[in-house]
Protein backbone atom coordinates (compact mmCIF):
# COMPACT_ATOMS: atom_id res chain seq x y z
CA UNK A 1 0.00 0.00 0.00
CA UNK A 2 1.71 3.18 -1.15
CA UNK A 3 -1.18 5.70 -1.29
CA UNK A 4 -1.45 8.75 0.97
CA UNK A 5 -4.40 9.74 3.15
CA UNK A 6 -5.86 6.26 3.53
CA UNK A 7 -7.35 4.40 6.49
CA UNK A 8 -8.32 0.83 7.36
CA UNK A 9 -10.18 -1.14 10.01
CA UNK A 10 -9.41 -4.75 10.93
CA UNK A 11 -11.73 -6.83 13.09
CA UNK A 12 -11.31 -10.43 14.14
CA UNK A 13 -10.20 -12.69 16.96
CA UNK A 14 -6.86 -13.73 18.42
CA UNK A 15 -6.35 -17.08 20.13
CA UNK A 16 -4.14 -17.49 23.20
CA UNK A 17 -1.84 -20.56 22.97
CA UNK A 18 -1.05 -20.59 26.72
CA UNK A 19 -2.43 -19.00 29.87
CA UNK A 20 -0.64 -16.01 31.35
CA UNK A 21 0.30 -12.39 30.82
CA UNK A 22 0.59 -11.18 27.21
CA UNK A 23 2.45 -8.02 26.22
CA UNK A 24 1.23 -6.51 22.95
CA UNK A 25 2.90 -3.86 20.84
CA UNK A 26 1.05 -2.27 17.92
CA UNK A 27 3.76 -0.57 15.85
CA UNK A 28 2.33 1.99 13.42
CA UNK A 29 3.01 4.92 11.14
CA UNK A 30 0.66 6.87 11.40
CA UNK A 31 -2.30 6.90 13.83
CA UNK A 32 -3.94 3.88 15.47
CA UNK A 33 -6.74 2.89 17.82
CA UNK A 34 -6.97 -0.60 19.33
CA UNK A 35 -9.82 -2.34 21.15
CA UNK A 36 -9.15 -5.68 22.82
CA UNK A 37 -11.99 -7.82 24.17
CA UNK A 38 -14.29 -4.78 24.04
CA UNK A 39 -11.93 -2.41 25.88
CA UNK A 40 -9.99 0.36 24.17
CA UNK A 41 -6.28 -0.14 24.81
CA UNK A 42 -4.71 2.36 22.40
CA UNK A 43 -5.96 5.78 21.28
CA UNK A 44 -3.25 7.64 19.36
CA UNK A 45 -4.75 8.83 16.09
CA UNK A 46 -2.18 11.49 15.23
CA UNK A 47 0.47 11.76 12.56
CA UNK A 48 3.97 10.49 13.34
CA UNK A 49 6.70 8.12 12.25
CA UNK A 50 7.01 4.49 13.31
CA UNK A 51 5.86 4.38 16.95
CA UNK A 52 5.21 1.50 19.39
CA UNK A 53 1.98 1.29 21.40
CA UNK A 54 2.05 -1.14 24.31
CA UNK A 55 -0.61 -2.82 26.41
CA UNK A 56 -0.77 -5.99 28.52
CA UNK A 57 -3.60 -8.43 29.22
CA UNK A 58 -4.04 -11.78 30.98
CA UNK A 59 -5.35 -14.49 28.63
CA UNK A 60 -6.45 -18.11 29.00
CA UNK A 61 -5.12 -20.92 26.82
CA UNK A 62 -7.38 -21.86 23.91
CA UNK A 63 -9.67 -18.84 24.31
CA UNK A 64 -10.31 -16.40 21.47
CA UNK A 65 -10.61 -12.68 22.07
CA UNK A 66 -12.14 -9.97 19.88
CA UNK A 67 -9.70 -7.44 18.45
CA UNK A 68 -10.42 -4.26 16.47
CA UNK A 69 -7.73 -2.03 14.98
CA UNK A 70 -8.30 1.29 13.22
CA UNK A 71 -5.33 2.78 11.37
CA UNK A 72 -4.70 5.79 9.17
CA UNK A 73 -1.88 6.91 6.90
CA UNK A 74 -1.24 10.58 6.17
CA UNK A 75 2.07 10.89 4.35
CA UNK A 76 5.61 9.61 4.30
CA UNK A 77 6.26 6.11 5.55
CA UNK A 78 3.52 3.66 6.52
CA UNK A 79 3.42 0.72 8.91
CA UNK A 80 0.92 -1.41 10.86
CA UNK A 81 2.20 -4.44 12.75
CA UNK A 82 1.06 -6.23 15.90
CA UNK A 83 3.58 -8.00 18.11
CA UNK A 84 3.21 -10.05 21.29
CA UNK A 85 5.20 -11.99 23.83
CA UNK A 86 3.93 -14.39 26.49
CA UNK A 87 5.28 -17.06 28.87
CA UNK A 88 7.66 -19.23 26.89
CA UNK A 89 7.58 -17.05 23.76
CA UNK A 90 9.76 -14.04 23.01
CA UNK A 91 8.66 -11.03 21.03
CA UNK A 92 7.19 -11.91 17.61
CA UNK A 93 4.60 -10.71 15.12
CA UNK A 94 1.28 -12.33 16.04
CA UNK A 95 1.23 -15.36 13.68
CA UNK A 96 -1.68 -15.72 11.27
CA UNK A 97 -2.48 -19.16 12.71
CA UNK A 98 -3.60 -17.35 15.88
CA UNK A 99 -5.92 -14.95 14.03
CA UNK A 100 -9.55 -15.81 13.20
CA UNK A 101 -12.50 -14.00 11.64
CA UNK A 102 -15.05 -12.58 14.05
CA UNK A 103 -17.60 -15.26 14.96
CA UNK A 104 -15.30 -18.08 13.86
CA UNK A 105 -16.68 -18.23 10.31
CA UNK A 106 -14.88 -19.16 7.16
CA UNK A 107 -13.07 -22.30 6.06
CA UNK A 108 -10.81 -23.31 8.96
CA UNK A 109 -8.23 -24.86 6.66
CA UNK A 110 -7.60 -21.42 5.19
CA UNK A 111 -6.20 -20.63 8.62
CA UNK A 112 -4.51 -23.84 9.90
CA UNK A 113 -3.52 -24.10 13.56
CA UNK A 114 -0.05 -23.25 14.79
CA UNK A 115 2.48 -25.96 15.39
CA UNK A 116 2.51 -27.08 19.04
CA UNK A 117 5.28 -25.90 21.35
CA UNK A 118 7.34 -28.94 22.40
CA UNK A 119 9.59 -29.38 25.43
CA UNK A 120 11.20 -32.17 27.48
CA UNK A 121 10.89 -32.33 31.27
CA UNK A 122 14.52 -33.52 31.63
CA UNK A 123 17.05 -32.38 29.07
CA UNK A 124 19.82 -33.46 28.71
CA UNK A 125 19.60 -37.00 30.04
CA UNK A 126 22.12 -39.79 30.45
CA UNK A 127 22.02 -42.87 28.26
CA UNK A 128 19.40 -45.27 29.63
CA UNK A 129 17.34 -42.56 31.33
CA UNK A 130 13.89 -41.37 30.21
CA UNK A 131 12.24 -38.00 29.84
CA UNK A 132 8.71 -36.80 29.11
CA UNK A 133 7.90 -34.90 25.92
CA UNK A 134 5.24 -32.24 26.47
CA UNK A 135 3.17 -30.40 23.82
CA UNK A 136 1.44 -27.10 24.59
CA UNK A 137 -0.47 -24.52 22.59
CA UNK A 138 -2.69 -26.97 20.71
CA UNK A 139 -6.46 -26.77 21.06
CA UNK A 140 -6.96 -30.06 19.24
CA UNK A 141 -5.15 -33.39 18.80
CA UNK A 142 -1.36 -33.66 19.05
CA UNK A 143 0.19 -36.38 16.84
CA UNK A 144 3.81 -37.38 17.48
CA UNK A 145 6.49 -38.74 15.18
CA UNK A 146 8.26 -42.08 15.67
CA UNK A 147 4.97 -43.94 16.12
CA UNK A 148 4.42 -42.37 19.53
CA UNK A 149 0.72 -41.85 18.77
CA UNK A 150 -1.40 -38.95 20.03
CA UNK A 151 -1.59 -37.04 23.28
CA UNK A 152 -0.13 -34.00 25.01
CA UNK A 153 2.72 -35.92 26.66
CA UNK A 154 4.86 -38.95 25.87
CA UNK A 155 7.64 -40.72 27.78
CA UNK A 156 10.73 -41.55 25.71
CA UNK A 157 14.16 -43.06 26.36
CA UNK A 158 16.34 -42.42 23.30
CA UNK A 159 19.68 -44.19 23.09
CA UNK A 160 21.32 -41.14 21.52
CA UNK A 161 20.53 -37.48 20.92
CA UNK A 162 17.27 -37.36 18.96
CA UNK A 163 14.80 -34.81 17.57
CA UNK A 164 11.07 -35.46 17.94
CA UNK A 165 8.29 -33.67 16.04
CA UNK A 166 4.54 -33.29 16.49
CA UNK A 167 1.62 -31.64 14.71
CA UNK A 168 -1.62 -30.11 15.94
CA UNK A 169 -4.93 -30.99 14.27
CA UNK A 170 -8.04 -28.84 14.76
CA UNK A 171 -11.29 -29.41 12.84
CA UNK A 172 -9.55 -31.69 10.37
CA UNK A 173 -6.77 -29.18 9.62
CA UNK A 174 -3.15 -29.91 10.56
CA UNK A 175 -0.36 -27.56 11.53
CA UNK A 176 3.27 -27.69 10.56
CA UNK A 177 5.76 -29.54 12.75
CA UNK A 178 6.83 -28.45 16.19
CA UNK A 179 10.08 -30.02 17.32
CA UNK A 180 12.23 -30.69 20.38
CA UNK A 181 15.69 -32.24 20.58
CA UNK A 182 16.50 -34.49 23.53
CA UNK A 183 20.24 -34.44 24.19
CA UNK A 184 21.71 -37.68 25.51
CA UNK A 185 25.04 -37.64 27.33
CA UNK A 186 27.02 -40.48 25.88
CA UNK A 187 24.92 -40.62 22.74
CA UNK A 188 27.26 -38.56 20.59
CA UNK A 189 29.71 -41.26 19.65
CA UNK A 190 32.15 -40.69 22.54
CA UNK A 191 33.70 -43.47 24.61
CA UNK A 192 31.14 -44.27 27.32
CA UNK A 193 32.60 -47.54 28.60
CA UNK A 194 34.30 -46.09 31.66
CA UNK A 195 35.12 -47.87 34.90
CA UNK A 196 35.58 -46.31 38.33
CA UNK A 197 39.09 -44.91 38.66
CA UNK A 198 39.91 -45.33 34.97
CA UNK A 199 42.76 -43.06 33.82
CA UNK A 200 41.59 -40.44 31.31
CA UNK A 201 44.39 -37.96 30.65
CA UNK A 202 47.08 -35.78 32.22
CA UNK A 203 46.50 -32.06 32.46
CA UNK A 204 49.65 -30.56 30.92
CA UNK A 205 49.49 -27.26 32.86
CA UNK A 206 49.95 -28.93 36.25
CA UNK A 207 50.86 -32.54 35.55
CA UNK A 208 47.75 -33.73 37.37
CA UNK A 209 46.32 -37.06 36.28
CA UNK A 210 42.58 -37.22 35.60
CA UNK A 211 40.42 -40.25 36.37
CA UNK A 212 36.77 -41.25 35.90
CA UNK A 213 34.48 -41.21 38.92
CA UNK A 214 30.82 -42.27 39.00
CA UNK A 215 28.05 -40.45 40.83
CA UNK A 216 24.71 -42.19 40.30
CA UNK A 217 24.52 -43.06 36.61
CA UNK A 218 26.76 -40.17 35.52
CA UNK A 219 30.55 -40.13 35.17
CA UNK A 220 32.72 -37.17 36.14
CA UNK A 221 36.40 -36.24 36.11
CA UNK A 222 38.50 -36.32 39.25
CA UNK A 223 42.20 -35.81 39.87
CA UNK A 224 44.71 -37.29 42.26
CA UNK A 225 43.88 -34.32 44.51
CA UNK A 226 40.34 -35.68 44.87
CA UNK A 227 38.45 -32.64 43.55
CA UNK A 228 35.72 -33.11 40.98
CA UNK A 229 35.96 -30.53 38.26
CA UNK A 230 33.18 -28.43 36.74
CA UNK A 231 32.64 -27.90 33.03
CA UNK A 232 35.80 -25.80 32.62
CA UNK A 233 37.86 -28.87 33.55
CA UNK A 234 35.95 -31.10 31.14
CA UNK A 235 36.66 -28.62 28.38
CA UNK A 236 40.33 -28.70 29.33
CA UNK A 237 40.55 -32.49 28.94
CA UNK A 238 38.55 -32.51 25.71
CA UNK A 239 34.82 -32.60 26.38
CA UNK A 240 33.99 -33.81 22.87
CA UNK A 241 36.18 -36.87 23.38
CA UNK A 242 34.36 -37.78 26.59
CA UNK A 243 30.76 -37.38 25.45
CA UNK A 244 29.37 -39.20 28.49
CA UNK A 245 30.37 -36.39 30.83
CA UNK A 246 27.46 -34.18 32.00
CA UNK A 247 28.16 -30.48 31.70
CA UNK A 248 26.91 -29.39 35.12
CA UNK A 249 29.12 -28.98 38.20
CA UNK A 250 28.72 -32.30 40.07
CA UNK A 251 29.91 -31.20 43.48
CA UNK A 252 26.56 -30.23 45.05
CA UNK A 253 25.22 -33.75 44.42
CA UNK A 254 28.38 -35.84 44.45
CA UNK A 255 29.82 -34.92 47.81
CA UNK A 256 32.19 -37.03 49.83
CA UNK A 257 35.40 -37.00 51.77
CA UNK A 258 37.49 -36.62 48.65
CA UNK A 259 36.14 -33.17 47.86
CA UNK A 260 38.34 -30.44 49.22
CA UNK A 261 40.65 -32.76 51.16
CA UNK A 262 43.96 -30.96 51.68
CA UNK A 263 46.98 -32.89 50.49
CA UNK A 264 50.03 -31.66 52.38
CA UNK A 265 53.32 -31.42 50.50
CA UNK A 266 56.46 -31.27 52.62
CA UNK A 267 60.21 -31.15 52.08
CA UNK A 268 62.30 -31.72 55.17
CA UNK A 269 61.06 -28.88 57.45
CA UNK A 270 58.84 -27.15 54.89
CA UNK A 271 55.16 -27.57 54.18
CA UNK A 272 52.27 -25.63 52.62
CA UNK A 273 48.75 -25.92 54.05
CA UNK A 274 45.50 -24.02 53.67
CA UNK A 275 42.53 -23.56 55.98
CA UNK A 276 39.60 -23.76 55.64
CA UNK A 277 39.21 -25.96 52.62
CA UNK A 278 36.61 -25.94 51.05
CA UNK A 279 36.16 -22.19 51.49
CA UNK A 280 34.35 -19.19 50.04
CA UNK A 281 37.39 -17.65 48.37
CA UNK A 282 39.09 -16.48 51.60
CA UNK A 283 41.56 -18.72 53.41
CA UNK A 284 44.83 -18.77 55.35
CA UNK A 285 47.98 -20.24 53.78
CA UNK A 286 50.70 -21.50 56.13
CA UNK A 287 54.20 -22.15 54.83
CA UNK A 288 57.90 -21.76 55.60
CA UNK A 289 60.39 -19.60 53.72
CA UNK A 290 63.97 -19.29 54.95
CA UNK A 291 64.77 -15.79 56.32
CA UNK A 292 65.85 -13.44 53.56
CA UNK A 293 64.88 -15.80 50.73
CA UNK A 294 62.60 -14.38 48.02
CA UNK A 295 59.39 -16.20 47.19
CA UNK A 296 56.10 -15.77 45.33
CA UNK A 297 52.71 -17.09 46.42
CA UNK A 298 50.17 -17.30 43.64
CA UNK A 299 46.76 -18.80 42.80
CA UNK A 300 45.75 -19.97 39.32
CA UNK A 301 42.74 -21.78 37.92
CA UNK A 302 42.91 -25.24 36.39
CA UNK A 303 43.58 -23.72 32.96
CA UNK A 304 46.71 -21.99 34.30
CA UNK A 305 45.26 -18.47 34.39
CA UNK A 306 46.59 -16.50 37.37
CA UNK A 307 43.96 -14.91 39.61
CA UNK A 308 46.02 -13.78 42.64
CA UNK A 309 49.72 -13.21 43.45
CA UNK A 310 51.93 -11.83 46.22
CA UNK A 311 55.73 -11.51 46.38
CA UNK A 312 57.43 -11.79 49.78
CA UNK A 313 60.73 -12.13 51.63
CA UNK A 314 61.17 -15.12 53.89
CA UNK A 315 60.78 -14.68 57.64
CA UNK A 316 60.62 -18.32 58.61
CA UNK A 317 57.06 -19.45 59.39
CA UNK A 318 54.47 -17.47 57.38
CA UNK A 319 50.73 -17.10 57.73
CA UNK A 320 49.20 -15.32 54.74
CA UNK A 321 45.51 -14.45 54.30
CA UNK A 322 44.44 -14.95 50.68
CA UNK A 323 41.33 -13.24 49.37
CA UNK A 324 40.48 -14.17 45.81
CA UNK A 325 38.59 -11.78 43.53
CA UNK A 326 35.02 -12.66 42.63
CA UNK A 327 35.22 -15.97 40.82
CA UNK A 328 32.82 -18.69 39.78
CA UNK A 329 32.64 -21.69 42.04
CA UNK A 330 35.43 -24.00 41.02
CA UNK A 331 38.87 -25.42 41.73
CA UNK A 332 42.11 -23.45 42.01
CA UNK A 333 45.78 -24.27 42.54
CA UNK A 334 47.91 -22.54 45.20
CA UNK A 335 51.58 -22.32 44.21
CA UNK A 336 54.58 -21.30 46.31
CA UNK A 337 57.72 -20.53 44.29
CA UNK A 338 60.98 -20.02 46.17
CA UNK A 339 63.92 -18.21 44.62
CA UNK A 340 66.87 -20.43 43.79
CA UNK A 341 69.85 -20.25 46.19
CA UNK A 342 73.35 -21.64 46.10
CA UNK A 343 72.32 -24.39 48.48
CA UNK A 344 68.94 -25.17 47.02
CA UNK A 345 67.24 -24.94 43.68
CA UNK A 346 63.78 -23.53 43.03
CA UNK A 347 61.08 -25.25 45.04
CA UNK A 348 57.40 -25.30 44.07
CA UNK A 349 54.53 -26.42 46.30
CA UNK A 350 51.01 -27.07 45.02
CA UNK A 351 47.58 -27.04 46.61
CA UNK A 352 44.12 -27.38 45.10
CA UNK A 353 41.65 -24.91 46.57
CA UNK A 354 37.92 -25.56 46.41
CA UNK A 355 36.00 -22.30 46.30
CA UNK A 356 32.36 -22.74 47.28
Average pLDDT, the chain: 75
315 vs 55 pLDDT, higher one: 55
Q: What is the pLDDT of residue 187?
A: 40
> How many CA within 13 A on the CB side of residue 340?
3
SS3 for 229? Answer: coil
User: Per-residue pLDDT for 262 more than 80?
Assistant: no
Q: What is the pLDDT of residues 126-173, one digit of tens each?
A: 766 789 999 988 888 999 998 899 999 999 988 778 899 999 888 778
pTM comes to 0.42
Q: Matching CATH topology for 6-106 and 117-185?
A: no
Which of these, 128, 155, 304, 329, lies nearest to 248 by C-alpha position? 329
What does the domain layout of the chain look like in residue ranges? 6-106, 117-185, 191-259, 265-355
| Residues 265-355, CATH architecture | Sandwich (2.60)
3-state secondary structure 89-131: EEEEECCHHHEECHHHCCCHHHCCCCCCEEEECCCCEECCCCE
User: What is the DSSP code (8-state) at residue 339?
Assistant: P
Burial of 149 (0-12, 13-18, 19+ CB in 10 A): exposed
Give per-residue pLDDT as tens, 75-117. Answer: 778 889 999 998 878 888 898 888 888 875 544 566 678 888 8
Q: Residue 25: its pLDDT value, please?
A: 94
CA angle 194, 195, 201 (to 5 degrees): 65
Q: Compare 105 and 326 and report the one with higher pLDDT.
A: 326
3-state secondary structure 13-50: EEECCCCEEEEEEEEEECCEEEEECCEEEEEECCCCCC
**Which residue did the predictor score with more confidence, 267 or 192?**
192
Which run of H or E residues covers position 233?
helix 231-237
**For 48-78, how does the pLDDT look when each residue is reduced to its tens digit (9 = 90+)?**
888 999 999 999 988 899 999 999 988 778 8
> Is the pLDDT at 214 greater than 70, yes or no?
no
- Domain range 6-106, CATH architecture: Alpha-Beta Complex (3.90)
Radius of gyration of the chain (CA): 31
CATH architecture under which domain 117-185 falls: Sandwich (2.60)
Would you state the pLDDT for residue 223?
A: 57
Question: Nearest-5° angle of CA 11, CA 12, CA 13?
Answer: 145
The pLDDT of residue 247: 52
Amino acid sequence: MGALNVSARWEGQVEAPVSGNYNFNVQTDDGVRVWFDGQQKVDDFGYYGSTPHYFSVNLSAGQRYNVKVEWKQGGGGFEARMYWDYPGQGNQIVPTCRLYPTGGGGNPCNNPPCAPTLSATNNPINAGQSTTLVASGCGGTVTWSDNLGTGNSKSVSPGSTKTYTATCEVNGCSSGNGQVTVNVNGGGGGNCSFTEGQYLTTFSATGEQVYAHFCGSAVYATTDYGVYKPQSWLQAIGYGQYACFPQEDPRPNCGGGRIGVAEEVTTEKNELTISPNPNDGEFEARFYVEPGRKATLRVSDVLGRQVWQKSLTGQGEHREMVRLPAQSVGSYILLLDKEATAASGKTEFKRVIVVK
